[in-house]
Structure formats: C-alpha cells, structure tokens
Amino acid sequence: MSRVGLVVVAGLPRRQAAAVAARLMHSEAGSVVVHHDLRDIARGFVVRRQKSAESERVDRLELAHGCVSCTLREDLVPLLAKLAESDGVRRIVLHLDPTIEPEPVCWALRSIPVQVVGVVTVVDQATWLADATGDEELAERGFGVAEGDDRTVAQVAVGQAEFADAIVLAGADTETWTDAWTTARTSAVLTRIAPRAKRVSFANAVHALCDLPRGARRGRVDRWFDPLLYGQPPLESDCGVSLTVFADRRPFHPHRLHEAIGVLLEGVVRVRGRFWLASQPDVALWFESAGGALRIGHGGPWLATMDDWRAECPQRTVKASLEWHPRFGDRAQELTIVAHQALPDELTAALEAALLTDEELAEGEKAWLRYPDPLVAIE
C-alpha cells in the first residue's frame, strides 16, 4: 500500500509559517493543509483548519483534558489517517502550532499510512538566536499552552530547527550592520545544530524540499544511543559560535556535575548527549539543554549491565564492542555543546573537573553508590 506524502511545517513565527504552508499546498495539486490552532488550549478548546485549493473547513474542538498530547492522539492522528485514505488527497501539509516541535509529532504518526517527505522549519533570522538562548517560558511570551506546560521558547526554537530537513529563513533586515551580524551568528549556530538542513530564503520557500541530501532525516526520530554528530558540522569557531565535543570514559561525580550545570547553561545554545554518574552506574542518562532550560532523563541500560544483547540494535552492539573499556564496558561521556558566548576551553575544563579523580576511582563502585546525588531531583 502506497503512503501519502506528508510535509510538516513548524516555526515560531506564526504568520510566516502559515504562508509557507499555503505556498507548499498550492505547489502540488491534491494537497491539503491541516492546522490546529492551540492559542485557546488553556480554555479547553482548539480550532482545527483543513484547507485545500478548492475549500476550507474550520472546526472548534472542545477538549476533555486540555493537553497537547491528547489533541495529537485523539484528533490529529485519526484525521491524518482518514485523509491519507481519501480519494484526491495526494499530499498533506501539516502546519504545526508555533508551540509544537515536529519530533514528537513524527513519532506519533508512525502507525498511519503517511510518509514524511520532509520537515520544514521557518526561522526568523532577526529574533531566532535570542529566542534560542533565553529562558523565557512559552506562557510568559504569550503563547497558548496547557496548564502545567513549563517549556521555554528556547526549547521549542532549538527543537524545531534541529529536526528540520529544510530551514526557511525569514525576517532579517540585512541592511544594517547589527542585523547582518545577528544573521551571521544565527547561520553559524544553525550550521552546528542542523548541519544537514537545507536553507532557503522566504521568497523561495516553495522549493524548500527540492533536492534534499541523501542523509535528510525525513521525520526519523533519533534513538538515545545514535551518533550525536550527523552531517559533519564544522568544529572550528565562526562569529564566536563554537561546537565542542566532550568525550571521556570516567564517570561524573554527581555533586560536581551538578555544580557545573551553571557553566553549561551560560552563553550556550545547546548541550546534548549521554553521560553516566558514579552514583547511577547502571543507567545511561540523557542531557539536553536549550538556552537556560535543562532536561535530564533516562536513556536506558548500558550494555555492560545486560547478559543478552540479541534484542539490541546491531549498530549499537558493534560500536560498543569496538570501543569496549575493560572496566567500564560501553559506559562513556559523550556530549556536544554549541556555544555562542562561552569559551570551549572553559566548558571542557568544567566537565573535566566533574569527573572522578584517580583517588575516587580507586574507591570502587560500592563507595560511588554512597555519593549524594542532587541530580536525582532533576531527572
């Protein structure tokens, strides 16, 4: 059974993203745009728009729970599945609300007969870098969010750009020196967090998905153990923007890593990767920051803790075997840091200082398990 092509359009600038979605709709016969406007989700309803070149339908949906995931699960997924089986629908353009990141949406669509042909993110060059490096919550900015949604603008801005196959650049006034510098720095950051993404001007948005590279993501969701560097991002600095790769086999001391978090969030756009703590040796932890916001979560067990690898991904087991440490197994610190103001040497020094010393390593795992662990409260 053939799958209907799905284009996902994301981005904080509402008007420009809507314009890009409309252009993509008109560029191919049989296209339909679907959009859920979440501005009133806190009041218990969303507005759903379904538009083609011939017609438009607007519905006001009352929500029983008032949450984004419920809307996605209970309305969007069934609607897209129905459209995918409708005669005359050749392509669906899913225009996301500005507060939505495309990655969880693509994950939710795995079971329906659509094929993600590309994710397009609209970036306002004049404001994106400030958005991606701040700590303002979506609600504080005035975006409609459900009660209890404490995500920041930076988390959404970075997540939207990072997952894109194509980035549409809009909004910069390059006639002034200040804006030209902002544009250059924004470009340097995007090159490091989304090196595979094609970039086009707003005027050429209709061509955003033409000639995507072979390595384009096309909605594929990364697993926690996948490589952190795709697309060969430049490791040299540009316009004060740097990419630092930190790797070590020794565990972090939980208290010292907790103290280093402030350094990792100051002047930094994005930290992303897996790590392990002496106090939690069995679990791979995931570190993800955007601007001033931080998430720490569980990735899964290290292979070193497992007796049977047969159900594990072959790429993971081969990599682990090649890099196996006689004491730590596949446990490792692997973090990538994109900074716009912080110095790479200072970031590396802060992380190195958080590693166990030779004396602490000699104490052994039983002693490590007794270390106070303030990071447990963050996970």
How far is 207 from 251, CA to CA, in rounded Å?
47
Tokens of 325: 């440490």
Predicted confidence (pLDDT) per residue in 256-286, tens digit: 999 999 999 999 999 999 999 999 999 999 9
Average pLDDT over residues 227-238: 92
Q: Which residue has the tokens 């504080």?
A: 140
Average pLDDT over residues 349-369: 98
What does pLDDT average to over the chain? 94
At position 56, the amino acid (one-letter code) is E
Average pLDDT over residues 85-97: 96
Which pLDDT score is estimated for 231?
A: 82
**SS3 of residue 81 by DSSP:** helix
Which pLDDT score is estimated for 178?
A: 54
Same domain as 351, residue 285: yes
How far is 285 from 300, CA to CA, in rounded Å?
7
Comparing 183 with 230, the larger pLDDT belongs to: 183
Q: Are 243 and 336 in contact (CB under 8 A)?
A: yes
Residue 173 has pLDDT above 60, yes or no: no
* In-domain check, residue 214: no
For 240-298, the DSSP string reads: TBEEEEEEESSPBPHHHHHHHHHHHHSSEEEEEEEEEETTEEEEEEEEEEETTEEEEEE
Tokens of 239: 């316009």
- Count CA atoms within 13 Å of residue 254 on its CB side: 20
What is the radius of gyration, based on Cα positions, of the chain?
22
* In-domain check, residue 235: no
How far is 162 from 57, CA to CA, in rounded Å?
32
* In-domain check, residue 305: yes
Q: What CATH number does the domain containing 322 carry? A: 3.30.1220.10
Predicted confidence (pLDDT) per residue in 102-126, tens digit: 999 999 999 899 999 999 999 999 9
**pTM as predicted:** 0.94
Which pLDDT score is estimated for 59?
A: 95
Same domain as 257, residue 124: no
Which pLDDT score is estimated for 174?
A: 44
Tokens of 290: 């955007």
Q: What CATH number does the domain containing 119 carry? A: 3.40.50
Number of domains in the chain: 2
Strands 242-248 and 333-339: antiparallel
Residue 213 has pLDDT above 90, yes or no: no
Q: Are 169 and 138 in contact (CB under 8 A)?
A: no
Average pLDDT over residues 304-312: 96
Q: Are 49 and 33 in contact (CB under 8 A)?
A: yes
Q: Which residue has the tokens 């679907």?
A: 34
Q: What confidence tier does 175 reach under pLDDT thresholds 50, 70, 90? A: very low
- Find the domain containing 139 and state its range: 4-207
For residue 148, give Cα distances in angstroms to 12, 158, 279.
Answer: 20, 21, 30
Average pLDDT over residues 347-373: 98
Q: What confidence tier does 71 reach under pLDDT thresholds 50, 70, 90? A: confident
